[in-house]
Amino acid sequence: MKKPVKLILFLVLPLALLGGGGFFAVYSGMVEVPFLPKKEAEPITAENETEEPKEPVAPPASVPAVAKPTQVAKPKKPEVVVVAPDPARGDRKLAELWNAIETPKLMELTKDWREEDLARVMLKMDPSVVAEYLAAMPDAKRASSLSRRIRDLASIPPS
């Protein structure tokens, strides 16, 4: 075959058939395209074909000629709930976890913690685990300072 005939048979003809089929599917309503307006089909009946269009009927005298515009309710914005963090709850949960950790691992885990934060959590822990932790601390000065922090926090009455 010659080149123009091959081009028409293998490229142009299938594209034309696919394009025509796609156009027919969209136009007939078999495929919905979101950005095209939907046309509402009016049923064809014998009355529609033979009847001439009627003139508009005037509204009764009791109905005002101009209707008042109705106000459209604006959708409410969803309320945003801001949840404030509860450090005391976090301390209790962390104390439960630390109670289950062995002392050497706990010492390694808390070596970079500030004493104030460490004392708040240890105040909620099991006293025997805290005692074992303080006894195993290599720095006696830090253990003493941490003990004082725990004492000071324990002496504050709950609010």
Q: Tens of pLDDT along 63-121?
A: 555 666 677 778 888 888 888 888 889 999 999 999 999 999 999 999 999 999 999 99
Q: Is residue 2 assigned to a domain?
A: yes
What's the pLDDT at 32?
A: 76
Instruction: Give the tokens for residue 37.
Output: 């307006």
Q: Is residue 13 assigned to a domain?
A: yes
CA–CA distance, 103 with 108 (Å, rounded to integer): 9
CA–CA distance, 65 with 58 (Å, rounded to integer): 9
Q: Is residue 111 assigned to a domain?
A: yes
Instruction: Give the tokens for residue 102.
Output: 């062995």
Per cent of the chain over pLDDT 70 is 72
Enclosing domain of residue 15? 1-33
Q: Is residue 103 assigned to a domain?
A: yes
Q: What angle do CA 40, 46, 50 make, to 5 degrees?
A: 100
What's the structural domain count of the chain?
2
Confidence of residue 135 (pLDDT cuts 50, 70, 90): very high
pTM passes above 0.75: no
DSSP secondary-structure letter at 113?
Answer: S
C-beta separation of 142 from 115 below 8 A: yes
